Structure 1
C-alpha cells in the first residue's frame, strides 16, 4: 500500500536509541530527507526486504542529504522482542544506522509512534521531506527503483527550495 501525504510528520516517541550517541528528532534532522524503516525483528518481510533495503538506501545517498533510521515497533510477541534482544539482532545483522525503540502505549496496544502514523503493521517505510512533512507511507514492500526515485525527487525539491543549484 502506498499513500502520498503532505502534512507535518508526527513526533517520534522513542523509549531508547541504538547506533547513535544522541537521540534523534524530526527537528534535529530538518533539511534532510528522512527514510524510516519501521520493523520488528521477528517479521520475515522486515528481515528479508525492509532492513536490507534501508541499508542500501544508506549506501546510495549522501548522509548530508538523507538520514536513514529504523523504528523497532513491537505490536506482538512483546516478551521475545526486548531491547536486549534487539541489541543482539542489530549486531548480528550488522545494522549500522540509528534504530529507535517505539514507546509502548502502556495498555498492550500498538506502540505510540505506530499509532501516531497510522501504521497497519510491518514493514512500513516512511519518507519525510526536508521540511518535516510526511510525504510517503508504504506498508509492505516497495521496489528499490521506485523508492530511489521518490527520495531523489525530495532531494531535488529541497535543493530548489533552498536556492541550491539542482543541475546534474
Structure 2
C-alpha cells in the first residue's frame, strides 16, 4: 500500500492576520509577496501544495519552495530577495560622457560607438544591448541622407515651379489662387 506524503504547514499567523498581511502588501504594491501570501492562504484553506500553486499560477517545485520558506521564516521567508542584478559596466557619469560625445560628433555607426566605448573605458557591449542602452538614453539610430529617397528626381524643379505659381510670377492666371499656410 502506497503512503502519500503529508506536508505539515506551520501557522505563523491566524487567518485574520494573514488577511491583514495581504492587504498591507497590496497597499505597499508588493505584488510578488501578495501572490505568495495568497498561496499560503490557499494552504490554510485545506488545499494541497499543488492545488494552491495552480491557484496562483506557479509550478509544483515553486510551491514546495514557498511552503518551506513559510515554515522556516513566515512572511519574512516569502519576501522576494532580489540582489538587483549585475552592476552596470559603465557608471552613470561615464555613460553621460559617452552620450555627450555622441551628440557632438555626429553621425556615428554602431561599430564606431562600440570602438569608442572600448577605447575610452575598456568595456565591451553586444551591439543589441548597446542599441537598447542608447534608446533608453533617448537616442535613436537614423541613417543620415542628403536627400529623401522617396522624393522625385526633379523635386527642386517642381518646388521652383510651384513657388513661382504661388508668388504670381507665372504668366498664366488661374481662377483659384494658391494659398500657402503652415500648421502644427
Which band: TM-score by shorter chain?
Answer: under 0.3
**Larger RCO: 1 or 2 (CA < 8 Å, sep 6+):** 1
Larger Rg: 2
Return the TM-score normalized by structure 2. Answer: 0.19
Return the TM-score normalized by structure 1. Answer: 0.21
Decide which structure has greater helix share.
Answer: 2
